[in-house]
Structure 1
């Protein structure tokens, strides 16, 4: 296995550990311990860490210490507002082209959650990811999926996003967007997506006040 391949594999594993909360925000990272855990030398590890640093997942302090960056509630709300603008427009545009097979399948999945199906956070996050990407694909917007992936990766590092305990409301909101797209009603699709993000924001602030 090449040094570059080792670096890529270490990058993916460390980033997933951070995104899924196995490595907590504000954790100090030890190159020695990470190298031992990953079973690689310092050279590919440092390449992986440099990539994470460029993505602002980790930061290097003045004394050289590597720290997992936390995401503030203010940053999270800013992401919600940005995505609300982009994805509301995307939903309206998707209604012009009609429902895709991807959205039809996701509607069935969301209906199960709306009816009380229980699921772990990481599993629903994956389905939620598919929904938002499916709307972007239905809108035939080539650049939006990459933008969403970047913003979702940042949001996932905020600990408040992992306080979900029920996903029925989110699922019903997704269904409303899909149904509006199916009806070819751009205004309704835009409104449904906008409302979804308003509710997302309210849920985040509600969990913060607990």
Structure 2
């Protein structure tokens, strides 16, 4: 295999990995859905070899689960997993908000204000998935402001799983108006350079997101049983 073939193979397996991961996060491949290699290969228009390498990565990250019978399925969404993810986020991101309040410059506040305006407009217009995307951009920018590189690395491990749950909530219903208000309060406390209040506001926001996610999972479970 020459270097061009190697590069093409690497690109195709990376493409397969990113595409499948995105489809799982966005719910195009639904929780507990059985997936077959031949169908995925046809969907992505790639050969089975790079697809298998992509699948292995997604199994390691627990987006795909190999069952005892050898079949693959999309990972479930569970109350236990979302509790663990969001409780960890509340601790890490609370401290990130604290450090962001200490480090905040005027240009940071202006940038965050513009981001929240986009978030607010998406909320008003009912653009659920845009609301989620802008929310995560807001959180990512606070991570940069904090300068807490190790915190950021740990959060990046959780981020795609957390994003999956947030998109799940948005796919099957709306966030309530308090989600918008919570972001505004976080920014207000950061602008005031009040680290204690910024940390508390972030923790409250993430734990309310956890509560909303659990409620949505319970509603769907109830509907299925009914």
Q: TM-score, normalised by structure 1?
A: 0.88
Q: Classify 1:153/1:103 alpha carbon distance in 2 versus 1 (closer, same or farther; 3 Å).
A: farther
Corresponding residue SS for 1:165 = coil
1:105 aligns with 2:111: yes
Gaps of 5+ in 1: none
Comparing 138-147 with 26-35, greater Cα deviation is found at 138-147
Q: Classify 1:156/1:7 alpha carbon distance in 2 versus 1 (closer, same or farther; 3 Å).
A: same
Q: How big is the shift at 1:65?
A: 0.8
The size of the alignment, in residue pairs, is 210
Mapped partners of 1:119, 1:135: distance in 2 = 25
Corresponding residue SS for 1:143 = helix
1:124 aligns with 2:136: no
Structure number with higher helix proportion: 2
Structural RMSD (CA)? 2.2
Please list, as runs of the form range in 1=range in 2, the aligned pairs for 1:1-210 lying within 5 A after superposition: 2-99=8-105, 101-111=107-117, 113-114=119-120, 117-158=124-165, 159-160=168-169, 162-166=171-175, 168-208=177-217, 210=219
Q: How big is the shift at 1:79?
A: 1.3
Q: How big is the shift at 1:105?
A: 2.4
- Please say if residues 109 and 191 of structure 2, whose CA atoms lie closer than 8 Å, have aligned partners that are also in contact: no
- Please say if residues 115 and 138 of structure 2, whose CA atoms lie closer than 8 Å, have aligned partners that are also in contact: no
Mapped partners of 2:60, 2:217: distance in 1 = 29
- Please say if residues 67 and 73 of structure 2, whose CA atoms lie closer than 8 Å, have aligned partners that are also in contact: yes
- Please say if residues 97 and 142 of structure 2, whose CA atoms lie closer than 8 Å, have aligned partners that are also in contact: yes
Q: Classify 1:95/1:146 alpha carbon distance in 2 versus 1 (closer, same or farther; 3 Å).
A: same
Deviations 1:144-201 (A, max 9, x none): 3333233231134344464341463222211211121111111111121122123223
Gaps of 5+ in 2: 1-6, 220-226
- Please say if residues 71 and 155 of structure 1, whose CA atoms lie closer than 8 Å, have aligned partners that are also in contact: no
Q: Classify 1:5/1:114 alpha carbon distance in 2 versus 1 (closer, same or farther; 3 Å).
A: closer
- Please say if residues 66 and 72 of structure 2, whose CA atoms lie closer than 8 Å, have aligned partners that are also in contact: yes
- Please say if residues 79 and 155 of structure 1, whose CA atoms lie closer than 8 Å, have aligned partners that are also in contact: yes
